[in-house]
Structure formats: structure tokens, C-alpha cells
Chain A
Amino acid sequence: MSGGLPRRIVKETQRLLAEPVPGIKATPHEENARYFDVFVDGPKESPFEKGCFKLELFLPEEYPMSPPKVRFNTKIYHPNIDKLGRICLDILKDKWSPALQIRTVLLSIQALLSAPNPDDPLANDVAELWKTNEAKAIETARQWTHMYAVNKS
């Protein structure tokens, strides 16, 4: 009864690899299939455009009953993502539903990049600037994207 990867995780991984979401790449670690390296492209017409953000995603033992754990590895200037890369997203917390999948979670994160929500902040200083001087905040986000998320090579 114990051990082995649940069929759901196997199938999700297969489908993610076979039918990837545009702008999102998720590959499981070879030694731990519950651990994924994720690359999310910054959405067009957002300050994160042209950036490629690295995230890590982990499926806990109780997945899909409990949500996956996701964190940004690339530094990002965003009111809902803090210095440690933690993400403030309802579906990753109390709004999680077992019918959601890795795919939908990553899509939601991509959408979060398109539509920052400074009213529900995680990084207070960023949210403050976003509310008081949005233009400057967006400019900073663009700079950060260029500094940390654009592959210069």
C-alpha cells in the first residue's frame, strides 16, 4: 500500500510533458518525481515580459488533498511575491481544491504576474509603492526582470 508514486502524479507529469502549457516548462527531478523545476516566461505586456523565472514546485505526501508547494527561485519585484520567493495566491492556501492540478497552479501564477494585486500583499514595501506610484513600481519591476530574469548569454 505504501511507496510508489500515485497514478495521478504520474499521469499529470505525462500530460505536462506531452502537452506543455505555452510559456511554462515543468520537469520533474530524476531522483524525486514529486519535485519539479519550473520555468515561467513573463507574460506579454507586463513588466516581467522577456524574463524567464525559475520556480520550484513540490508535491507533498497528501497531494492532491493538500496544495503543491511553490516558490520563486528567481528574484522578482512583485507585491504578492516576497524576498524568499514565497507566493501569496489563494489557491495555494485556503482556496485549494483537489480538482486543481500542477498545470492550473502554474497558469494561475502566470496570471498573477500579469495582474499583481497590491491589496493582498506579501511584500509590503513593493505593494506600497505599487499603490502610491504605480509607474515607478512597474519600472522597478522591469529593471529587476532585466537584472535577474533575462538570460544574457
Chain B
Amino acid sequence: MRTEIIFSADQAHKSSTRLLLFFRIHIYIREQHKTYTCTTYNIRTMLSYQFMGKQKKQQCNSLGNNSVKIRRVDKAFEPYRQAFIHGDIQQQSYIINEFVSSLVAAEYAKLTEERGYCMEKCLPIEEIFTCNLCRELLHVPVTLVCGHTFCLECLGNYEREGRTMCPGCGQESNLHYTSNIVVRELSRICFPEKTSIRNCIVEANNLLRERKMEEFMELTKNLLTKYPENVDLLHLRANGYQCLKSYSDALNVLDFACTLAPFCTKVLYARGELLASIDEPEEAMVMFLRASALKPNDLTYRGRLTSCLEKPLRNICNSSELCSPSSSYNADHEATTKRVLKGLPVKSEPNFDESTTTAQNMSRRRPACINEDGQVGHRNVAVTMNSNEHAFTTDSTDHRGDPTCRTDATEKTVDTLMDQDRSCYKKEETKNISQCQRVSCIQRNIIVPPKSNIPSELECKLCFNLLYEPVTTSCGHSFCRACLERCLDHRFHCPCCRTNLQSYLEHFIMKNVGTCKVLESLCLLKFKDEYQTRRLAYEKELLDFSRCESNKDEIPIFVCTLAVPDIACPLHIFEPRYKLMIRRCIESGSRQFGMCAPDPEQTFATVGTMLHINDVNFLPDGRSVVHTVGSRRFQVLERGLQDGYNTAKVAWLQDECDESDYTKLNCEVYNMMIQWFEKLPSEQKICIVKAVGRLPDALQGTNENGPSWLWWLLVAMPLNHEAKQIILSMTSITERLNSAKRFLAILLSRL
């Protein structure tokens, strides 16, 4: 029975050394976490194999040396197997899930232990330029309204599946997009080789999709002579071979790719699929296991692993005799298995003999290795051998540094690029300006604009600064958010290409537009200090804008009409400069601005009222209706201009302390007003209430501005602006009441 199981284990996984090792580690881990007994217990109760379970548990606990550990492998496989045989479908799926989890965990632990890391490491700058859908360098990058960037093609595939929201954040967007020009250019500059390969790969992929095999093979062959070690190209060529049904070639290529990138899940997975399709499920499974361990969250890899594992489990269950499809190699495997069982090659340091046998195996199994490609074929075989040695053996120190080396190399290239940047910049500084211009033109690909180390691509085309909170339009142009907002205040067109951005503007107004994550991350990564400076400048600008306490502070002035304290003043904002002003009021949190009536001689009147914004309703085209109410009065000391709108330094106007008792006068004028208002025709009354609001309560008012009804009266009374302006500037209640009384007397006499 035992040999049978061992044999079946071996049968299920040809590369038994490896697999048995997984099992060993798996059990080891389980034991460490004290869960082994638990699992056994579960299986035991599930199967009512009480006696057997106990026995196992005892065995496990008592034995500890290597060979016994290896013997435990079959003990682990056995319960799973037993459970599988006897369990119903639900239990089976549970068991297999359990089995897969433990295998993946073991492989993960192994990878982490041996390589120091096991995830595909990415340089930060590469990570920035990676599409989150295909995990490749962005090709034709498209930035959505929310600021996430993907390849145009990936997004197209995603949309074809009927999904219209952003894959990154789920935000809906219905715009037609074009490539993000800045991101495209920057990726071309930062990764010139990668970008050109990526472009070729896309082209080749299209050929493959259209089944233009001859052209495809020609193109990939040419590319491979140029970049013989590009994993993506190898992967693609393998796909081509697969389409042509020349599996051995495909396998060759993928083997080579695996050597180059032993941690690239995509290649591992492709190799696994290929092996599965040419009826090598055991090796395929190893590939899937590795891929699953490298990316534990990827359900595709895990799913394939599960289905691969299920088959042999079932086979073992169903057949009393073990079929051996590749019986010719049984000798080999038996030998290895035996050795493993003896506990000898636990660490499986492959000696010369072994690798030779493996190599022989391979060439026997895949005679097409030496094919029309001649030399390349040979090379591939050689590397394949190697790959099997170092990619999958457990402890071969020789190759430990391999993937890290590659990463280092890439890192170096990018660093060199950036260093070149810096050194260029320094060199240029010492030269005179015109010379540095020429240098910068020549070395455009090292991104150095004159007198600044910020690449021109990352400079806003509107403010000429480093992009701050970069946003990308649907036509692919990027600007600072504030700069683009100002442009859209004026016209709906893209400043660079005049594309109509009306629907994009609607997103802007709805506050749906997010900063372009790629550009922002890049700015933060490479120009952190400059970006910080920009942020501080922007924040200071808003702070300065919102400050209006001392008379040194400049307050924004809306020149439109006469506003008075306590009375509502609804405004329709359509002029670009006031759109900007209102936006700043809201963003800075000040929510107030000064209102002055126009004055032909001095632009605006000397006395005005602060308006507090209660509510803003934005219209889809960028206009807005703002509900405001008057507060403090001010006298203008100094006039100014800011970004198109007026500003002023002001002194606040407050009523003087009135010693005399004005209660009687107050009552008298109030009654006169009521009398006047009552006598008005009803249409006129309605008009006044509509425009000025309801008459405030007789007692409403403040110390600094006096009773509110008087202000209401000032707006409602048919007086000329000059007279109203004078009353607004009066700082004595008695004086204001007397003026109102005089005017009311005239009005009443006329009625």
C-alpha cells in the first residue's frame, strides 16, 4: 500500500524531488502551527477513520528526522487521498482547497526563505508607468476622469466585457478618451527600449490575433535577434509556436524565458498551460503552483492548480492499478524517488550525473530542440537544463542572486538616466545660456530644459511651473487643476488642441475629476521638493485670499450693485473672473467677498458691503447662482487688481455709539415705512419682496449696523444710487433714520 502511494505521488508529480519537498515543508509548517493534528482530526472525523488517524498523529509526533519527514509526505497525501475517495463532492472540494492552500503556503514559504523575497519586484518608477490591468508598461496610456491610467487596449477589453466604470476606483465615465500625451512621452523617455519593444509586441500581438503567422514569426524573429533576452518577446513567440502547433519549439522558448525570469508568473503560467496542453499535467502543476505562490491572490493561477491536482487525485482514486503514461521514464523516477525516500538528496543539490540525466531526458522527450533554428535550439536546451536546476531546486546558492541581479541592472539604467540628468544640468549651468540651449536641444531625450531640472513634459503649459495636482483632459492634455479650471472659466476648449471639453467640464463641476495618478506620483517621486514648494505656494495663495481682518489684507471685490447689511443678494455668476473669485471663496473656506456698486470714475464705489456666501448652485456650463447675504460695511482705502477681478484694502465701518435715545425716531420711521409699503400697488409689493426679500422683523439688527429693516428700506426705496451710497456710508443711526424719514415723507406725499 505504501509503495503504491509513494508511487502515485510520484506519478502525480514527475519531478518528485520537488514535490516531495513541498509535501515535506507543508507538513513541517503544519506541524509548526500545530494544525496538523487538527487537519488529521478533521479528516478523521469526516471519514470515521478514527483508529487510523490516531495512529498517524502518534507517528507524526514521535518521529522527527529527515527520512521520516519524507515518509510523512505520503502520510499527508494519504489522508487527503482517503478523504477524497470517501468524501462527497462538497467534502472533496473542501479537501482539495485545503490541499491547495497548504501547497501554496509551503511554496510561498520556500520562495520567501530561499530568495529573500518572492514577489515580482518593481522599481518605483516602473511601477508608476505600469498598467494595473495588464501589469505591463503602459501602452497608449489613457487617463480617465478619476485620474487612473490604463492602456487603451486594456480599457477596451475591459469595456467589451460590459463594464463602463474605472477599473481602479469604479467611477463611471462616459467620455471618449485619447492617449495621455505627457505620460506617453515620459514613458518613452524613461524607458526608450522597453517602450519600443512594447510597441512591437502590441503590433506582433495584433498579427497573431489576425493569424498572419508568417509575418508574425518574421517580426518576432527579428525582434529576438535584437533583444534575445526579452521575456515578453519570448512569451509572445511561444504563443506563436503554439498557434502553429509546434509545441516543442514553444516549450523551448518558454523554458528559456523561465530561466531568464524564474519569478515571472506570466511566463510560468504560460509554460504550465503549454505543458498541460501537451499532456504533461505533472510539470504543468508545478508551474501553476509556483505561479500561485508568487501571486497568491490571483484566482486564475489557483484555479488551474486546483484542477490539475484534482485530476491525479481522482485518477488514483479510480484506478487500482496505476497507469503510467510515460512508463519509459519510470526507471528515472523510481531512482529519484528512492533516493528521496532514503533521505539522501533532501537538499537535492543536483550533481553532474543528475543534470546530465535531466538533460538527456529532455532531449529525448523533446527531440525538436535541435531543429531548424539550429544554434538557438542548442542554446535553449543548455539553458533549459540550467533552468531546471536553479529555478526549481531548493537550495542552489549559485543562482540565488539571479533575479536580483536583473533588477539591479534595471535600477542602474534608470538611475544612470536620472544621474545623467543631474550631471547634465550641472554642466549646463556652468555654460552660458545660449550654449545650454543647444545642449538641451541635442540631449532632449535626457529631459533637461534650460535652467531647470524639471523636464518640459512635466511643466504645465499654462503656468510654466511643475504640474501641481495634474489633471488630464479627455483629449489627453495635462495641466495643473487650477490652471485648467481658469481656462474653462473662459472657454470650453482645450488650450492645446481646441477640443470641445463641455462634457469634461460637467465632470469638473461635479467635482469628479481626479488628479492624474501617474503624473502626480512621478512628480512626488522625482521632484518632491519642487512639488512641495508648489503646494505651499498654492496653500498660501488661498490663505492670503481668505484673510480679510486687518486693513493690510486685500479683499476681493465684486463690482455689480449696492449691497447692504443683513439683506440677501442673489447673484448670477457668468464672468470668468468672478467664476474664479467664487471658486476661491469656496476653496479657501472664506466664503465672503466685498460688493461695491460701479463707479465710472474710480471703477467701483468707495463704500461697500461684505457678502457672505450661503449657497452656490453650479450650472453644467460653469455658470453659477450664488445666494449671499450682506454683513460688514467697509470703506475702500486702496484699489487693486488680481487675476482680472478687483481687490481693495479696506477699513471696516461701524456705527458710532449713539448716546441719544433714538427709540422714538426709530418707531416713527418704521411706521412711515409700513404706511408707504402698504400704499404701494400689490404688483409692486410682490416685486419688492421678490427682489429684496421679506421685510425683516422690527427688532432684528446688530450694534455695528443698526436695525435691519432700515437696510431693507434702503434697497426697496426708489432712490438714486448716489443717495443710497451716502446712506450706506453713514455711521450714525440717528442720521440714517433722519435721512430715511425725509425720503419717506417725500414718497408718502406723492402717493
Contact = CB atoms under 8 A, between A and B. Distances in A.
Interface of A: 1-3, 6-8, 11-12, 14-15, 18-19, 61-62, 64-66, 97-99
B109 to A, nearest CB: 55
Contact of A65 (B437, B640, B644): B644
A34 B386 CA distance: 70
Nearest to A14: B451
Interface in B611-648: 640-644, 647
Given A18-B450, A65-B487, 13 more contacts: A2-B640, A2-B642, A6-B463, A7-B463, A7-B464, A11-B464, A18-B437, A19-B437, A65-B643, A97-B493, A98-B462, A98-B486, A99-B496
A98 B462 CA distance: 6
B529 interface: no
B498 A18 contact: no
A8 B450 contact: no
A8 B465 CA distance: 8
Contacts of A98: 462, 483, 486-487, 490, 495
Contacts of A99: 461-462, 495-496
A1 B493 CA distance: 28
A98 B577 CA distance: 15
B643 A64 contact: no
Instruction: Find the residue from A61, A62, A99 having the highest chain B CB count within 10 A.
Output: A99
B525 interface: no
Contacts of B490: 65-66, 98
Contacts of A8: 462-465
Nearest to B493: A97
B434 A1 contact: no
Given A62-B577, A65-B644, A97 B545 contact: no
A26 B88 CA distance: 88
Contacts of B642: 1-2
Contacts of B486: 65, 98
Contact of A1 (B451, B462, B495, B554): B554
A61 B641 contact: yes
B544 A1 contact: yes
B555 to A, nearest CB: 11
A40 to B, nearest CB: 21
B576 interface: yes
A19 B450 contact: yes
Contact of A15 (B450, B461, B643): B450
B369 to A, nearest CB: 58
B450 A2 contact: no
Instruction: Find the residue from B462, B464, B483, B554 having the highest chain A CB count within 10 A.
Output: B464
6 contacts: A1-B554, A19-B450, A61-B644, A62-B643, A65-B644, A98-B490
Instruction: Find the residue from A2, A3, A18, A97 having the highest chain B CB count within 10 A.
Output: A97
Contacts of B544: 1
B338 to A, nearest CB: 76
Contacts of A3: 640
B599 interface: no
B433 interface: yes
B496 A18 contact: no
Contacts of A14: 451
A12 B464 contact: yes
Contacts of A65: 486-487, 489-490, 576, 643-644
A12 B545 CA distance: 26
B497 to A, nearest CB: 9
B103 to A, nearest CB: 58
Contacts of B433: 18
B462 A2 contact: no
A15 B490 CA distance: 27
Q: Which 4 A-B pairs have the closest CB atoms?
A: A99-B495, A1-B544, A62-B644, A11-B464
A19 B436 CA distance: 10
Contacts of B461: 99
B546 to A, nearest CB: 10
A53 to B, nearest CB: 25
B541 interface: yes
Nearest to B489: A65
Contact of A2 (B451, B463, B641, B644): B641
A7 B486 CA distance: 16
Instruction: Find the residue from A19, A66, A98 having the highest chain B CB count within 10 A.
Output: A98
Nearest to A20: B434
Nearest to A64: B462
B464 A2 contact: no
B279 to A, nearest CB: 61
Contacts of B450: 15, 18-19
Nearest to A17: B433
Nearest to A97: B495
A34 to B, nearest CB: 12
Nearest to B495: A99
Contacts of B498: 97
Nearest to B540: A1
A3 to B, nearest CB: 8
A32 to B, nearest CB: 14
Contact of B545 (A1, A19, A62): A1
A65 B463 CA distance: 11
Interface string B426-463: 00000001100100000000000011000000000111
Instruction: Find the residue from A8, A12, A14 having the highest chain B CB count within 10 A.
Output: A8
B443 to A, nearest CB: 15
Contacts of B641: 2, 61
A14 B463 CA distance: 14
Contacts of A66: 490, 644
Nearest to B576: A65
A91 B640 CA distance: 29
Contacts of B493: 97
Nearest to A62: B644
A137 to B, nearest CB: 32
A148 B384 CA distance: 83
Nearest to B483: A98
A62 B580 CA distance: 12
A109 to B, nearest CB: 20
A64 B484 CA distance: 12
Nearest to B649: A2
A88 to B, nearest CB: 20
Nearest to A100: B495
A63 to B, nearest CB: 10
A12 B434 CA distance: 15
A8 B495 CA distance: 15
Nearest to A61: B641
Contacts of B462: 8, 64, 98-99
Given A62-B577, A65-B486, A97-B496, A7 B465 contact: yes
Nearest to B547: A1
A59 to B, nearest CB: 13
